[in-house]
Structure 1
């Protein structure tokens, strides 16, 4: 998708505000037609009208709650069937404030349904359609807490670690099929997700909070550079490679026919 101006369609979830809305605006600026997915139809329609007027692209509104089985199936089927779609921005998600012990079953189920189940189902649908067509881009929004889970809530952090792992695995499965895959790991980004989770971003050190436009622009720059994992605030990409090399060094000893001598 690097610098692409060809007409193709991008499906963006969680598109009514925040990161998703900015992705929609940037992709429209690159010439992509759009399918905007979120629960709030009114906000989606206002965004669609604005993007059509400013960028001259076709924008369709698909109102859906991806935590609900019927709505998820509808969007999933659209991804599988619509050959015009060549970009998926898997952005819809929720956060949760507080400890795991304090979380209600409903809160846990809701977060897992959106951050894990919906992300996986849509990625699978896109992988099937894009892989068969020999082209396409899947962008999965994770978080830096995938690498530093102690920074935040247990369920949210674990869900984003899952998204990172899913993306890395997908890249291995799709690398010979012409499909580009990217995991984006933002730090704290100034969006509505924090208010909804009960966390006041104003209480966080301003040096740790990035504006959403800057975050998405960095993520798209990483996509253009063919990065599998993009951490918008990381100054030196070599630091990520050091992390990967340290992980790879564990490889020969992760599965052996006997326990390590230190356990005997």
Structure 2
């Protein structure tokens, strides 16, 4: 039975919406009353999801087929963000992983991952931020990963792209956050989605005690958004741990750029006469 919503929200644009985290965001946002623009490469899967969400929620759902590693497709989506004033929420979710050791990766694999996880994410963030800032209204959610905090996981390129997404979001918030424009970066841990199979990893090898269900992940991420969190780590029990991490980082700030090296390096410093 179709439910009729009074649309108090604008439209939400979700990338990587055909499966996994993106499809779950689409489901939850439709149930919150957002009209949707679903973006992914697989138009057939998008249409299937769109048909279900229209029937279940009564919202308007548009399918926007795009390969975000294709310059023309990316430009088309940027144009849509610039021109469509109904869009007030963007979930910048499309991404891929690259497992195996750094020495095993070829240059094309590395470049393709960076094109999707860094270039496309940044350009869409730029287009969304410009549009939202001009209207003093909008929310941008970037999907990162806890791997970006942990080089010890040895996922060199993937982790580096996700560290970039964290910095990008924090930097955007410093520059234009507030005054109606909201930013959030979500840092999932291991999550049960198709990303494992697509990246050549057997999902049955995952530790069930350390792998989150995608529905729980997105529900927690949206709860974090509702709480006003800039950085949401769904599995972290005590937010004081993140606050302590931030405080330690900021404690170093006054000493990160000075006129002379630290005394511990033994570099001879000229003495003013």
- Shorter-chain TM range is over 0.9
The reply to whether residue 22 of structure 1 matches residue 27 of structure 2 is no
The reply to whether residue 114 of structure 1 matches residue 116 of structure 2 is yes
Work out whether residues 147 and 155 of structure 2, in 8 Å CA contact, stay in contact via their aligned partners in 1.
Answer: no
Instruction: Find the structure with the greater CA-based Rg.
Output: 2
RMSD (Å) for aligned C-alpha atoms: 1.1
- The separation in 2 between residues aligned to 1:149 and 1:52, in whole angstroms, is 42
Secondary structure of 1:73's counterpart equals helix
Out of 237, 241, 244, the position equivalent to 1:242 is 244
Q: How does 1:123-138 map to 2 (within 5 A)?
A: 123-138=125-140
* Deviation (angstroms), 1:150: 2.1
The reply to whether residue 165 of structure 1 matches residue 167 of structure 2 is yes
Secondary structure of 1:189's counterpart equals coil
Instruction: Name the counterpart of 1:195.
Output: 197
- Measured against aligned partners, the alpha-carbon deviations of 1:125-179 in whole angstroms (never above 9, x if no partner) come to 0000001101100000000011112214200000000000000000011224311
* Deviation (angstroms), 1:52: 0.5
Distance 1:97 1:216, change over 3 A: same
Instruction: Name the counterpart of 2:3.
Output: none
Instruction: Name the counterpart of 2:209.
Output: 207
Secondary structure of 1:53's counterpart equals helix
Distance 1:71 1:198, change over 3 A: same
Work out whether residues 182 and 229 of structure 1, in 8 Å CA contact, stay in contact via their aligned partners in 2.
Answer: yes
User: Which stretches of structure 1, 4 residues or more, deviate above 6 A after TM superposition?
Assistant: none
Secondary structure of 2:62's counterpart equals strand
* Deviation (angstroms), 1:203: 1.0
Task: Give the number of equivalent residue pairs.
Answer: 261
Listed as ranges, the gaps of 5+ residues in structure 1 are none
TM-score (norm 1): 0.97
Work out whether residues 5 and 30 of structure 1, in 8 Å CA contact, stay in contact via their aligned partners in 2.
Answer: no
